[in-house]
């Protein structure tokens, strides 16, 4: 099977592999995600009811409150955080979680950005490896 590789811009370092959870909609972590389970609770999300735990979470961008980083941090504390975040664009509100997580829990959550073409390829992905240092995402299934 031929592997597909997508270029990405690394924002937070790290390398992980896992199943992809893809959403075409922006996501609010405050009120939109259960911080104890990692289940998406936003009824407007196309991934409503799905768990982001241990998955590579792909969504266009975060929306809403400055507490997004705190929800990501709590998800890491209880072992329900996504393995990586892949966005069209990210912001500092979202980045605080992965950055603080590294210091508090010694866990890495790579964050990368891709372009629209990359998002379309990821919409069909089952599993992937995200390597923010190399600047690439490799689809493995």
Q: Is 23 a catalytic residue?
A: no
Residue with tokens 């955080």: 81
- 5: helix, coil or strand? strand
Residue 9: name the closest of 115, 121, 92 by CA.
115
Cα–Cα dist 91/73, whole Å: 16
Cβ contacts of 132 within 8 Å, gap of 6 or more = 8, 10, 11, 12, 13, 14, 15, 110, 111, 112
Which residue in 65, 66, 123, 132 is the catalytic one? 65
- 72: helix, coil or strand? helix
How big is the CA angle at 41 (ends 115 and 63), to the nearest 5 degrees?
A: 40
Q: Which residues are known to be catalytic?
A: 65
């Amino acid at each position: 099977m031929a592997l597909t590789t997508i270029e990405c811009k690394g924002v937070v370092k790290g390398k992980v592999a896992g199943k992809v959870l893809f959403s075409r909609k922006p996501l609010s972590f405050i009120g939109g995600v259960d911080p104890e389970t990692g289940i998406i609770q936003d009824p407007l999300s196309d991934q409503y009811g799905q768990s982001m735990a241990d998955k590579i979470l792909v969504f266009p961008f975060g929306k809403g409150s400055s507490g997004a980083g705190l929800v990501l941090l709590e998800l890491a504390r209880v072992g329900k955080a996504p393995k990586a975040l892949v966005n069209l664009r990210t912001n500092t509100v979202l980045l605080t979680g992965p950055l603080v997580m590294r210091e508090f829990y010694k866990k890495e959550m790579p964050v990368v950005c891709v372009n629209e073409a990359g998002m379309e390829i990821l919409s069909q992905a089952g599993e992937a490896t995200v390597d923010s240092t190399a600047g690439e995402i490799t689809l493995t299934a």
